[in-house]
Structure 1
Amino acid sequence: MDFFKKFSNKQTPKDVAKDRLKLILIHDRGDLPHETLDKIRAEILEVLSKYIEIDIDDVELTVSKSENVDGNNPALVANIPIKNIKN
């Protein structure tokens, strides 16, 4: 039975909890207040919605650490699914 689990796209509750914990740790290490991240998210979505249709419920905006020549610098990472392009 474990053989077929490798081909399943559905995450287990353990995987979901692990991903959420990673996001929380990344957010804490980014030193960006939650209120600021919410404001950034709202402004980005406001601007993008002028040009494209987006599914607001599926938007992911996180702060992560990235390897850089100068050391670890936080990076703002956005995953914004596009539904349609407005004319």
Structure 2
Amino acid sequence: MLELFSKLSRKRTSKDVAKERLKLVLIHDRANVSPQFLEMVKGEIIKVIQNYMEIDEEDLDIQLTRTQSEDGEGVVPALIANIPIKSVKNVGR
């Protein structure tokens, strides 16, 4: 229980902010999109998911990268998301 409380009350340190910025720069280089574009996409994804689930935004990880196409003939962009779900909302049941 104490661990849960400490995680919930944790504030973002300058180390966390710097790490997030470095991730954005690396993603920008890999996917050839601006960090602002990636943040916009990330924000929209979070808004849609939050309509249906409570998520842990602290541990959320969304990356835009490149991967081999299904036909194996080229490289295509890929959106990879790791979104911890706290609970599912009772919407429309």
Q: Could you say if the C-alpha distance between residues 76 and 45 of structure 1 is closer, same or farther in structure 2, counting changes exceeding 3 Å?
A: same
Instruction: Provide structure 2 residue ranges, at least 5 long, that are not aligned to the other structure.
Output: 1-21
Q: Which has the higher contact order (CA 8 A, sep 6+)?
A: 1
Deviation at 1:26, TM superposition (A): 4.5
Question: How far, CA to CA, are the matches of 1:58 and 1:45 in structure 2?
Answer: 12
Q: Which residue of 1 aligns with 2:39?
A: 38
Deviation at 1:23, TM superposition (A): 7.4
* Secondary structure class of the residue paired with 2:32: coil
Question: How far, CA to CA, are the matches of 2:31 and 2:82 in structure 1?
Answer: 18
Calculate the aligned-residue CA RMSD, in Å: 2.1
* Secondary structure class of the residue paired with 2:44: helix
Question: How far, CA to CA, are the matches of 1:39 and 1:58 in structure 2?
Answer: 18
Q: Which has the higher strand share?
A: 1
Question: How far, CA to CA, are the matches of 2:27 and 2:37 in structure 1?
Answer: 15
Deviation at 1:27, TM superposition (A): 3.5
Runs of 4+ residues deviating >2 angstroms: 21-27
1:2-47 deviations in Å (ceiling 9; x for gaps): xxxxxxxxxxxxxxxxxxx787544312101100000000011001
Question: How far, CA to CA, are the matches of 2:23 and 2:34 in structure 1?
Answer: 17
Q: Which residue of 2 aligns with 1:72?
A: 75
Q: TM-score, normalised by structure 1?
A: 0.68
Question: How far, CA to CA, are the matches of 2:64 and 2:54 in structure 1?
Answer: 24
Aligned residues: percent identity?
43
**Structure 1 counterpart of 2:77, one-letter code:** P
Q: Which residue of 2 aligns with 1:29?
A: 30
Instruction: Provide structure 1 residue ranges, at least 5 long, that are not aligned to the other structure.
Output: 1-20
